[in-house]
Amino acid sequence: MADVEGGSLQPDDETHEIILQTERLSNMQVENTDGGFVFTVTDMTRLLRFLILGTEGGVYHYDEKDLKRDNILSIDRLIIQGRGEEVVKQIVQVSKAGRACKQNCTVYALAICARSNDPDTKKAAYEALSTICQIPTDLFAFIKYCEEFSAGTGWGRAHRRAIANWYNNFKDNVTTLAYKVTKFRRRHNWEHKDAIRLAHVNPESESIRLIIKYLVAGLGEAKKLQMPINADEMETWQKVYVYLEAVEKALQCTEESDVVELIKKHGLVREHVPTPLLKSVPVWQALLKDMPMNATIRNLGKMGSLQMIEEGSEEERIIVERLQNQAILKKSRIHPFKILVALKVYGKGVSEKGKLTWPRNKNVVAALEKAYYMSFDNVEPTKKRYCLAVDVSGSMDTPMMGIESMTAREGAAAMMMVTARTEPDYKVYAFCHKLEKLRIQKEDKLKNVYDKMSSLSFGSTNCSLPIIQALEDKEKFDVFIVYTDSETHYSAIHPSQALQQYRTKTGIKDARMIVVGMASTGFTIADPVDRFMMDVVGFDSNAPEAMRSFVEGQF
């Protein structure tokens, strides 16, 4: 492999028409401050970036950034253009498809539309409330954001009607409403009784009336309500009452045996259990029986800290069988990286914040590792041509920002494995001030990839090199992904300029670039007006989906 230092990009006269950077490639480009032409970012693209990434710029942050009204001005401009209903439709599409990395962004955007002065936008936003806010946590966030945007109380007729409709929309599935309102009782300094009173909720069925009365006045007052006469409604009413009664009994329990019985009989979950009893092994044994895959992985440390996952135990058997069940893994749609994070944390024997410790069960560790490889089937290939470039400097052993149990090197190795195991067309390079081809095979295990990376060590980090090398080798790629530990630099040419020239010379006008600073708290490589560039600052289990959305052109 050639040693490419700063490098210069020269057109190949025999194979490419020379189009200067100062010439426009298409009508989708605008002139930047340097006199070059780049692909512009429309307000709808900015909206999509915000909904999916949490920012209008092409940057994904691992941590929860405070949402600020002046950071999402694209919505205001679109509403002024008469496209408010289109904005709401886009919010709904992103939310329903599960494309948002953090749901609070879609709720925030919906609240902006609900507080719009445009009546059509406001109407569309409130009609979409129940679709976007599937759980009370999101409903309370919506109420909170709406109040932040209002000069007064914010509880006008349209707002009250929409909140009331959220509860009444469960009239055909009242047991689900009972489950959700008891699981998520309060969030964002709001609870159901306050929302119900302010919204003047008028229940549309006797079963919903029972739940509303319970939330506002308690089970004792709810019990005084008259039972419906209609046979079908009576059956539903009785089911709901029995469930609410079980929840109340559980919350008042002091004996673990009583809670265990209620969990088994009524399908209660962790949120229904009093905090003191969450230290009980029998309680967790009961919860584990029907625990979903994601919850199982999330609670391994807690259960381990209670010394309940011993070798040869029933709990070990349940966990191992669940982790190795291909059908359950497929149904959960869990990403391999999320399982790897669980493997690293559980295998370490201590929580990220160090509050819990546990003995590691070698069979559970082995099952997590097997589940990691099995879960690659959950990743659908994008069928793009990838150039992966990984920083192999010694500083890559720095813990990742967002997942401190993993180093940047381990995270980069894992992400390259995802590409190698799911995509048909890719090349991998190790880089710093020079490039070297790194042979990562589909059948490689994580340790093999990590060892190959660790065997190399260079100097500084130049993110432009993969693009320069691709042009020198006349390679055609749709996506360049650079994995590095922290803030990056460039020498003779900025990555955005290199990418612009690559597009010009190869004819791949939508060639994309993602620069991942896995241990960085902040940097900017992407040109903010170039819709085909993206930065990832730090790394968490949502980052892979954000990157995939970008590669597939979803924003």
- The enclosing domain of 443 has a CATH number of 3.40.50.410
Per-residue pLDDT reduced to its tens digit, 183-229: 999 999 999 999 999 999 999 999 999 999 999 999 999 999 988 88
Cα→Cα distances 3→202, 453, 458, Å: 73, 18, 12
* Residue-range definition of the domain harbouring residue 54: 22-132
For residues 366 and 330, membership in a common domain is answered with yes
Q: Which pLDDT tens digit goes with each residue over 231-267?
A: 888 999 999 999 999 999 999 999 999 999 999 999 9
Does 515 fall in a domain? Answer: yes
Q: What pLDDT digit, counting tens, does each position of 74-84 carry?
A: 999 999 999 99
Distance CA 239, CA 237 (A): 6
Do 432 and 354 sit in the same domain of this protein? Answer: no
CA distance 137 to 181: 9
In terms of Cα–Cα distance, which of 405, 398, 400, 397 is closest to 356?
405
Instruction: Please report whether residue 419 resides in a domain.
Output: yes
Give a yes or no: residue 424 inside a domain.
yes
Question: Residue 431: helix, strand or coil by DSSP?
Answer: strand
Question: Is the residue at 40 inside a domain?
Answer: yes
Average pLDDT, whole number, for the chain? 87
Query: Is residue 279 in a domain?
Result: no
The reply to whether 55 falls in a domain is yes
Tens digits of residue pLDDT in 268-321: 999 999 999 999 999 999 999 999 999 999 999 999 999 999 999 999 999 999
Residue ending a domain, choose from 377, 398, 424: 377
Answer whether 384's CB lies under 8 Å from 425's CB: yes
**Alpha carbons 284 and 307: distance in angstroms, whole number:** 11
Based on the fold, state whether residues 296 and 388 are members of the same structural domain. Answer: no
Confidence check: pLDDT of 451 > 90: no
Task: Please answer whether residues 103 and 142 qualify as being in contact, where contact means their C-beta atoms are separated by less than 8 angstroms.
Answer: no
Q: Are 413 and 453 in contact (CB under 8 A)?
A: yes
**Percentage with pLDDT > 70 across the chain:** 88
Q: Which of 112, 132, 152 is the last residue of a domain?
A: 132
Exposure string (b/e) for 129-159, b if CB count within 10 Å is 16 or more?
Answer: bbebbeebbbbbbbbbbbbeeeeeebbeeeb
- pLDDT at residue number 20: 40
**Exposure string over 233-244, b if 16+ CB within 10 A, otherwise e:** eeebbeebbebb
Same domain, 397 and 509: yes
Domain boundary among 324, 348, 377: 377
Flag the least confident range among 213-227, 341-355, 415-429: 341-355
- Distance between CA atoms of 339 and 368, rounded to whole angstroms? 7
Pair 355, 410 in one domain: no
Q: What is the mean pLDDT of residues 387-396?
A: 85
DSSP string, 437-454: E----TT--HHHHHHHHH
3-state SS of 31-79 is ECCCCCEEECCCHHHHHHHHHHHCCCCCEEECCCCCCCHHHCCHHHHHH
512/394 same-domain check: yes
Q: Would 541 be classed as within a structural domain? A: yes
Check whether residue 440 and residue 517 sit in a common domain.
yes
- Classify burial at 480, counting beta carbons within 10 Å of its beta carbon; exposed 0-12, middle 13-18, buried 19 or more: buried
Residues 342 and 473 in one domain: no
> How many domains are there within the chain?
3
If asked whether residues 396 and 366 sit together in one domain, one would say: no
Shared-domain flag, residues 331 and 398? no
Are 30 and 55 members of one domain? yes
Domain assignment present for residue 156? The answer is: no
Token pair belonging to 164: 């009331």
Q: Are residues 481 and 451 in the same domain?
A: yes
